[in-house]
Amino acid sequence: MENIEKIIENYQNYAEKNGFRLNPERKTVERVIKGLLENEKKYGKRYCPCRRVNGNPEEDKLKICPCVWHREEIERDGHCYCGLFVKVEMGDYW
């Protein structure tokens, strides 16, 4: 299993490549990562900790982080449901 720093780096790179960023609140990021790792240990996949795993493989695969809903949520709400990813604001570049 990867360590938390490596996972954070991977999600950081993913966010940058996709036009958003990791939540600037480090505690939030670490909490979500720990939830992902717990789900990986329990279910074998890094399911978003904010989504309920119901045992249906077809439905559950949509919940693997980054989940199928994260882009829509970031655009609509400014962050994904669990808070791992946030929208880039104009001031973030200045």
User: How many domains are contained in the chain?
Assistant: 1
Cα angle 46-47-52, degrees, rounded to a multiple of 5: 155
CATH number at residue 76: 3.90.460.10
Tokens representing 81?
């449901």
Low-confidence ranges of the chain (pLDDT < 50): 93-94
For residue 40, give its domain range: 4-89
Q: Does residue 75 sit within a domain?
A: yes
CA distance linking residue 37 with residue 43, whole number of Å: 10
What confidence score (pLDDT) does residue 91 get? 57
Residues 19-50 as b or e (16 or more Cβ within 10 Å = b): ebbbbeeeebbebbbebbbebbeeeeebbbbb
What confidence score (pLDDT) does residue 90 get? 59
What confidence score (pLDDT) does residue 94 get? 39
pTM here? 0.89
Q: Does residue 57 sit within a domain?
A: yes
